[in-house]
Structure 1
Amino acid sequence: MLEVVELELPEPGPGEIRVRIVASGINPTDWKTRAGLANRVPDGFQIPHQDGAGVVDAVGNGVTGVDVGRRVWLYLAAFGNRFGTAAEYSVVPADRVIPLPDSASFDLGACLGVPALTAARCLGGNPEVLKGKNVLVAGGAGAVGHYAIELAKYAGARVVATVSSDEKQALAEAAGADLVVRYTDEDVAQQVLDFCGPVDRIVEVALGTNLDLDSAVLGAPATISTYAATGELTLPVGEFMRANTTVEFVLLYGLTPEQLADAVHWTSQALSADALTALPIIPFALDQVVEAQDLVEQAPVGKVVLRVAEG
């Protein structure tokens, strides 16, 4: 059961930082965890939400280089930790607290975390490998798709995005996609190939549904990186083998520390260069957390954020 309660102010232990939360971003994994679909059952109370932004309030023993009062964004706050960001204060391991530039709003900081880091990993984890490459982003108006477009453009790639509506097309274009097409068009593959030729990497939200399109536009070699595949999947093994195709399945919670650090570094670089933006914010108050999670389950256009406090 998810409810708003009063708890004692948590104290940071060794290697931990306490952050006064200003904004808390909500992801699909948050409502799925609440619904019991994530195979993670808390052993006591659990404050939800992985992503957020705020101000450093206190530091534990052994933490260096982080000053009280610094603006920060957080990622994986509730992963293996009792204190997520759906609260006035969160205590998290120091390596999950990242400086937030003055030019970035707390809303933007709360939108990063899971979506941006997933996008960075799906793009290969290193911006250097994308310069001059062709990237196809499926679902370019979703949170991961949004940051995949922006991170790929920051890295110097040519980006094509697929969407389903005028509203989503406008969002993908605002993120910087060089071409936006409707995935419902009969000639999507031809539009992509006519624009940029074969693609080098695909960031995929629905691999089973989009497999024919992906196969039609893939270069040789190329990579499909999917972060939301479900159910059974049949791959054209011979075709992919001949093309030396790589198919990656990405789940942020299972990345190695090195992979996660690379994704954080790329995201931080782009953020400092003002290359990242927030999707349209759908704000809720902290005491509306249940309603906010329920809305996320309905997959709205935009990003649902709890505005916990004034910055």
Structure 2
Amino acid sequence: MKAVIYRAFGAAKDVLSVEEIATPAPGPGEVLVRVAFSGVNPSDVKARAGSRPGVTKPPFPEIAPHSDGAGVIEAVGAGVDPARVGERVWLWNGQWQRALGTCAEFIALPEAQAVRLPEAVSLEVGAVLGIPGLTAAQCVFGGGDVAGKTVLISGGAGTVGHLAVQLASWGGATVIATGSPKDFDKMRKAGAAQVLDYHSENLAADILAANGGTPVDAAVEVEFGTNIAVLAEVMAPNGRVAIYGSAKDMAPTIPFGPILFKALTLDVVLIYILPEAERAAAIAQLHGALDEGALEVPVGQVFAPEDAAKAHEAVEAGGRDGAVLIAF
């Protein structure tokens, strides 16, 4: 089968190559999926670049990257219902602690990691539901029902943030989203009741004013280190901050006093190790929103396998208007 492979850390153009490797066979409890689209996420490009803390060499001799994808089940292993053959599925954790991810014509993985795709949902959209979709769902709903609450979402125009705005709005929350002024219309269209410039020097005051002068109940945070002081000021007592990133400041100073006396919950979301019950709930929430037409999943660019390096570079460059995929 055709696969995109790397054997060493480095720049995408230096280490990624398209090769012919053996097609895997599904083991007991596994399915073999013919991949239609492989999703490229920031975590994938960081893993390929070797920028994860404490990781000095690739964990396997050769790696086909990417955890997200979508396709059709081609074959099943022992113990799997043969009726699943031909099923359209989306994939999660394709390359988590595994050598061969979704950036290949085929992938064999446990059948639970191949989720039946709702009938009306395209394979392109399916390839975005893994890391971005599940992260957004867990961030929004991981603390319980959000109906009637105010949810603050930072980076509301990014892939996860954009999905989170839509999911929170669908869940009955009033959404305040922060982002660049050029993305205000996008965030409003997604369901944000108020949109704010995240570069404002008075962001905390802006957030409180946008909520009628009262603190917010919950937050979804992409840059925890940068925004922790603002969060400490604007969160309501017993509020929950769902944190899925802090790239600009990986060793933040935390104002513990305000957090302590508000008894805030700092909930770090790492979707790769989400417990089974919570993952099942997040999948159900994503499918529910999709079934009701409440979730738009934009795809920005689609690349051929031979252009995988360009796909990685597009993700590294940031400022994407939608997900980046590789088509097989």
- Say whether the fold is shared (TM-score over 0.5): yes
CA contact under 8 A between 1:159 and 1:178: conserved in structure 2? Answer: yes
Structure 2 equivalent of residue 109 of structure 1: 126
CA contact under 8 A between 1:81 and 1:92: conserved in structure 2? Answer: no
Match of 1:299 among 318, 321, 326: 318
Match of 1:182 among 197, 209, 232: 197
Structure 2 equivalent of residue 100 of structure 1: 117
More moved, 132-141 vs 8-17: 8-17
Structure 1 equivalent of residue 264 of structure 2: 245
Structure 2 equivalent of residue 74 of structure 1: 91
Distance 1:231 1:160 in 2: 25
Distance 2:162 2:219 in 1: 14
Distance 1:73 1:267 in 2: 12
Distance 1:53 1:244 in 2: 41
Deviation (angstroms), 1:223: 1.2
Matched, 1:198 2:220: no
- Identity, % of aligned pairs? 38
CA contact under 8 A between 1:292 and 1:304: conserved in structure 2? Answer: no
CA contact under 8 A between 2:139 and 2:269: conserved in structure 1? Answer: yes
Distance 2:239 2:272 in 1: 25
Distance 2:273 2:32 in 1: 25
Distance 2:302 2:327 in 1: 10
Aligned ranges for residues 248-287 of structure 1 at < 5 Å?
248-287=267-306
CA contact under 8 A between 2:40 and 2:315: conserved in structure 1? Answer: yes
CA contact under 8 A between 2:121 and 2:290: conserved in structure 1? Answer: yes
- Distance change (3 Å), C-alpha of 1:201 and 1:65: farther
Aligned ranges for residues 1-311 of structure 1 at < 5 Å?
1-38=15-52, 39=55, 41-64=58-81, 67-125=84-142, 128-166=144-182, 168-196=183-211, 197-229=214-246, 230-309=249-328
More moved, 11-20 vs 38-47: 38-47
Distance 1:156 1:66 in 2: 37
More moved, 20-29 vs 170-179: 170-179
CA contact under 8 A between 2:184 and 2:195: conserved in structure 1? Answer: yes
Deviation (angstroms), 1:307: 4.1
Query: AA paired with 2:187?
Result: A
2:24 is paired with a residue whose SS is coil
> After the TM superposition, which segments of 4 or more aligned residues of structure 1 sit over 6 Å from their partners?
none
After TM superposition, the score normalised by the length of structure 2 is 0.87
1:120-164, Cα deviation, whole Å (9 max, x unpaired): 2222426x5211111000000111111111221221111110001
1:187-223, Cα deviation, whole Å (9 max, x unpaired): 4333332333321111111122112322222111201
Indicate the RMSD between aligned Cα atoms, in angstroms: 1.9
2:131 is paired with a residue whose SS is helix
Distance 2:83 2:95 in 1: 20
Distance 2:131 2:281 in 1: 14
CA contact under 8 A between 1:107 and 1:305: conserved in structure 2? Answer: no
Q: How many residues align?
A: 307
1:277 is paired with a residue whose SS is coil
List alignment gaps of at least 5 residues for structure 2.
1-14
Query: AA paired with 2:229?
Result: D
List alignment gaps of at least 5 residues for structure 1.
none
More moved, 185-194 vs 66-75: 185-194
Distance 1:25 1:100 in 2: 15
Deviation (angstroms), 1:259: 2.8
2:19 is paired with a residue whose SS is coil
1:161-192, Cα deviation, whole Å (9 max, x unpaired): 000131x2232222221211111234433333
After TM superposition, the score normalised by the length of structure 1 is 0.92
1:34 is paired with a residue whose SS is helix
More moved, 234-243 vs 264-273: 264-273
Distance 2:295 2:109 in 1: 24
